[in-house]
Amino acid sequence: MVTALLDTARARRVAERVPDPELPMLTLADLGVLRGVEVGADGTVVASLTPTYSGCPAMAEMRADVAARLREAGYERVEIRTVLDPPWTSDWITESGRRKLTEHGIAPPGPAPRGGPVPLVLSPTRPAVPCPRCGSADTEETSRFAATSCKALWRCRACREPFEYVKEI
């Protein structure tokens, strides 16, 4: 029993350290997509992942990376499960994940909108995202979409630097 618990803790540590393929400064645990790691009585490791966006093309790579790292750590039987419910929210990005994003010039998301009917907001005054480089709030959105599903493009009027911003969903 104790061995199994220790083993689960070890397997979790291995899976938690796997970097995200698109935001490699974050681990899958930082990003909040690793939803669980269990080691069964027969030694099978079951790791659960959830996609950030339905069409996220990095899912296959994440799955393969987690399985590969676990096998390298000596777990022969590895099973990766997809968890769709509850859906990923940017609120699951950890504090350390947010810090690492900022350190790499990517603005972390604000609080995700609450559930329920989603109101349409047509006012141009959406809250400004603080610049991850200089901290200025004098920023503007340049594109609601960027190189990956989870980011938008912004620029800072104070330090003149463009930056990416992880959208809150």
Partner 1 sequence: MSDDHVYLTLAEGHEDDTRWAYGTGFEDPLHGVDTTVPEGVDAAELAADCVALADDALISAQRLAEWVTRAPELEEEVALANIGLDLLGQARLLYTRAGQADGTGRDEDAYAYLRDAADFRNVVLAELPRGDFAFAVVRLLVLSTWRLAHFQRLVDHPDPVLAAVAAKGVKELAYHRQYAADWAVRLGDGTEESHRRMRAALDEVAPYLGELHTAYDVRDEVADVLRQVTDAAGLAMPVYRPLPGSGRAGEHTEHLAPLLTELQGVARAYPGATW
**Which of these segments, 7-15, 33-41, 80-88, 96-104, binds partner 1 (CB under 8 A)?**
80-88
Q: Is residue 22 near partner 1 by the rule CB under 8 A?
A: no
Contact with partner 1 (CB under 8 A) among 16, 17, 53, 155:
53
**One-letter amino acid for residue 154 of the chain:** W
Q: Is residue 121 near partner 1 by the rule CB under 8 A?
A: yes
Answer yes or no: are the C-beta atoms of 78 and 70 closer than 8 Å: yes
Contact with partner 1 (CB under 8 A) among 54, 95, 114, 125:
54
Nearer to partner 1, 1 or 122 (CB): 122
Number of Cβ atoms within 10 Å of the Cβ of 167: 19
Count of positions on this chain that bind partner 1 (CB under 8 A):
45
Rg (CA), the chain: 18
Contact with partner 1 (CB under 8 A) among 20, 22, 65, 164:
65
Closest CA to 152 of 92, 91, 99, 90: 90
Q: What residues contact 153, with CB distance under 8 A and at least 6 apart?
A: 141, 142, 143, 145, 146, 162, 163, 164, 165
- Residues near partner 1 (CB under 8 A) are 21, 48, 51, 53-57, 59-61, 63-65, 67-68, 71-72, 79-89, 113, 117-118, 120-122, 142-147, 149, 153, 167, 169
